[in-house]
Amino acid sequence: MSTLAKSSLLQISGKLAGIFFGLGTFYILLHFFGTEGYGVFTTALTYVTFFSIVVDFGLTITTAQMIAEKGADEKRILSNLFALRVVSALIFMTLAPLSAWFLPGNEKIFPLICIGSATYFFGAISQMFIGVFQKRLELVTPVLAEMGSRALALVGVLFVGLTTRSLAHATIAFAVGALLQVLIMLVATHRRISLRFSWDFSLWKEIISRSWPIGLSIFFNLLYLKGDVLFLWAMGKTDVEIGHYGAAYKVVDILTMVPVTFMGLMLPLLTLAWTSKNKTLFTKRMQQTIDLFALIAIPFIFGAWALGVPLMTAVKPDLVLAGQLLWVLVPAAVIVFFGSLFGHTVVAIQAQRPMTWNYCIVAILGIIGYLVIVPPFGEWGAAWVTLACESAIAILAVVVVRKHWKEKVSLGICLKAILASAIMFAVLKGIQIPLASFSPLVSLALSLVVGALLYVGAIALLKGPTLRDAKRLFSADSQQG
């Protein structure tokens, strides 16, 4: 097995473990604090998220890109990025609680925003070091750091739920977990590279000139991807309504971890193939990733249509609305798979600046959509605007990439994934009545098993890719072209 295959398997395994811990924490929060409490928690952390994106300003992606280039002075680049990140994080994560003080009706969310700002400060520092390990395909440390952070948060939230039942104390558990993660990442990075604060402002200028289009793009992306929660709150929707929307969005967050994680691995490889002018290898990687994402993501759309409500009501019986919202939000998450692929490719081919205007236009249209549609339609309006914006930005990213990369792309695997998913959906809908005699949890578990077996079987019957084909993405000769 190649180094890339081992690294990918390790990171996927780590993400699965992280998802397990995240789902456990999600369940505990809903169980002890209810849908209303979860709504308050979601609003507060969403507010802080906007400031954390300004802190990042595209530096995480820029780090991976710059140190992956031929002849890069890794120590100099990382030492300056480290100083820049700490300074920007201190400034903007302090602004989050300061600005929240002036928000109307902030009594519930202000303490959580203060604590959440510390959580995101630690997260911003640790994220910057991931590029070091991605470049070397040494992912044990970041995987263990993230798992440790999530596990500690889960244990802390459970302890709070059993004792004080304070949302503020629960939020502190996340901050402690983030602190553990940054300490592990900092020590491990320092062992590989002798880090220090560097103040080479000429390099800072270069870093900012390369990262600002990415940073603005991510910020505009966030306006419509996460702005829905803040618009719901600002327009007077109840904490219970926001709790339903936040619970459904948790599923979206889990799904979108997959493409972001995978593209974090692929970005240095795509960058190297493009800057080396190896168009054959670049095209091979793009086609294989399109096929892989189609096979993984498309069945989730049909699965959500069939099992969205049973899934959410298994978590908490009153989450029927959250389950219904998945009918719209999961397709948006699936589009993020392909938007992430082409969005990262925009960075790999250094076409960020024209893409920034696309993000800006979509963000403006998204804000208008929220202002017009959320007041009369509430959570459903927010969900449809999110889907429309994700679709628009994915299409625009494809257009930008195709201006530079014009090789032919096959959609055969995508079509097979759609057909196999449709077969799965039809059978799942048909067996829901017979399965109704079982408990909701047992019925859901049986449906998931049947659905997975049906999809894999249908792909095989349609002569889709085999496991051997999937391994080619990570094979040694794929790395060499």
What is the block-wise mean pLDDT of the chain (481 residues), using blocks of 10 residues? Answer: 60 73 89 91 88 72 67 73 83 89 79 92 83 69 86 94 93 94 87 76 76 71 75 84 90 84 79 85 89 92 93 88 94 93 87 80 89 90 92 93 88 92 93 83 90 92 70 50 45
Q: For the chain, how many residues are written?
A: 481
Give residue 76's pLDDT.
78
Q: Which 8-state DSSP code applies to residue 325? A: H
Q: What sign for the dihedral angle of Cα 231, 232, 234, 239?
A: negative
Give residue 476's pLDDT.
43
Give residue 137's pLDDT.
65
Distance CA 47, CA 51 (A): 7
HEC states along 136-151? HCCCHHHHHHHHHHHH
Residues 6+ apart with CB under 8 A from 180: 145, 148, 149, 152
* SS3 assignment, position 289: helix
Q: What sign for the dihedral angle of Cα 386, 295, 256, 427?
A: positive
Other C-beta atoms lying within 10 Å of the C-beta of residue 263: 23
Residues 6+ apart with CB under 8 A from 90: 121
Q: How far is CA 480 from the centre of its chain?
A: 29
Other C-beta atoms lying within 10 Å of the C-beta of residue 324: 19
Q: What sign for the dihedral angle of Cα 438, 440, 445, 450?
A: positive
- Residue at 353: amino acid letter: R
Q: Is residue 35 a contact partner of residue 321, using CB atoms and an 8 Å limit?
A: no
**Taking Cα atoms as reference points, which of 275, 367, 385 lies closest to residue 328?**
385
